[in-house]
Amino acid sequence: MSTQLEPAAVRDVADVEAAALTRPKLPRSALITGLAALAWLGSAALTQWWPAADEWPYTGQFIVFKVVLAAFAIAIAALGWRTGVDGTREVRNATSGSRVETWVRAMPWLLALALGISAWEVLTAQLEWLPRPFFAPPQALIGVFAEDNPRLGSSVAHSFGLLACGYVLGAVTGFVTGVSIGWSKAVSYWVHPVLRLIGPLPSTAWLPLAFFFFPSSFSASVFLIALATAFPVTVLTWSGVASVNSAYYDIARTLGARPGFLILRVAIPAALPSVFVGLFMGLGASFSVLIVAEMMGVKAGLGWYLQWAQGWAAYANMYAALLVMALMCSGLITLLFRVRDRLLGWQKGLLKW
């Protein structure tokens, strides 16, 4: 009798093992998203029930901010399960699925941000292991954005205008100079030595002469930013034009192309990837020169705001300005990437940076 029941028992065990293997597992993205939501809820509970060593304004708004981020993580987890970006279901809408996938990939950063802000708050507001006024809790930054936004906003607007003028001027100058050097041997003979002599010098070294020769601090700052931008754009554009395959020119000349066509339709399009590398390098250099120039002579802008905050020991304002600067620079880099992808769509799949 036991011999007859043994095959049935074996089949039952096999069915259980097969069901265990086919049972859907919890996706790693859903686990991280859930941990991010729990981290933000725990951080909100920490702020609510662990009293700070001192009364900080905007603590209630800070708690609401954490709860909103926790709800956002939960919503992303639900959308990820629904659209199938975690592999549990078939994607129905490619556009919405790609957007949700972008947010799902950002969940580890949201989790790390929750842990970092919680540690920052504990070390400053609760335990005060980091002394005041040099270290401010997160609530103090919220107070700066809420109470000092007119002055901070005007500083951002002034810095953006100054950066736009200097960067555009330097990028255009560097692009024209780089194309000229890469195309013409005569221009290269005369400009190349000057470029090698002046280009490597830091733009801030020209501060005294710039503020002496230019009629206003604004024009002097524009010149310094343009100088910092022009050198990398010139070098990378020149390198891109000089490295174009000569076979392209030969084919175009065979078809009757003139020098203007060769420059505009062959040399410049082929050199655009190198040009954008120079533009990215110039953006970073121009941003550093912008802050130094505003600290030295301009009476407005983020550099001036940093100097003002340090003079009054308003370190919360200084940290808020640094955060705005980081977001501003990151946004401009993202915008430049979008422009590059739009202009170099014909090279899609070839660019790896």
Task: List pLDDT tens digits, range 321-330.
Answer: 999 999 999 9
Q: What are phi and psi of 215, to 5 degrees?
A: -70, -20
Q: What CA–CA distance (Å, rounded) separates 305 from 303?
A: 5
- Model confidence band, residue 92 (pLDDT cutoffs 50, 70, 90): very low
Position with higher pLDDT, 238 vs 292? 238
Burial of 8 (0-12, 13-18, 19+ CB in 10 A): exposed
Task: List pLDDT tens digits, range 109-129.
Answer: 999 999 999 999 999 999 989
At the topology level, CATH places domain 149-344 in MetI-like fold (1.10.3720)
Does the pTM of the predicted model rise above 0.85? no
Neighbours of 245 (CB within 10 A): 10
Q: What CA–CA distance (Å, rounded) separates 320 from 314?
A: 10
Q: What CA–CA distance (Å, rounded) separates 233 from 241?
A: 12
pLDDT computed for residue 216 by the predictor: 85
Domain range annotation of the chain: 2-133, 149-344
Reply yes or no on whether the pLDDT at 89 is more than 90: no
Single-letter residue type at 43: S
How far is the CA of 117 from the CAs of 122, 124, 131, 325, in angstroms?
Answer: 9, 11, 17, 19
Q: What CA–CA distance (Å, rounded) separates 252 from 121?
A: 64
- Sign of the alpha-carbon dihedral angle for 210, 211, 212, 214: positive
Averaged confidence pLDDT in the chain: 84
Q: What is the mean pLDDT of residues 299-305?
A: 88
Q: What CA–CA distance (Å, rounded) separates 36 from 72?
A: 10
pLDDT computed for residue 348 by the predictor: 65
Q: In sequence order, what E strands does the chain have?
A: none
Reply yes or no on whether the pLDDT at 54 is more than 90: no
pLDDT computed for residue 300 by the predictor: 83
Q: What CA–CA distance (Å, rounded) separates 69 from 73?
A: 6
User: Residue 241: which residues within 8 A CB-CB, separation 6 or more?
Assistant: 178, 179, 181, 182, 183, 267, 268, 270, 271
- The conformation of residue 126, written as its DSSP 8-state character, comes to I
Reply yes or no on whether the pLDDT at 293 is more than 90: no
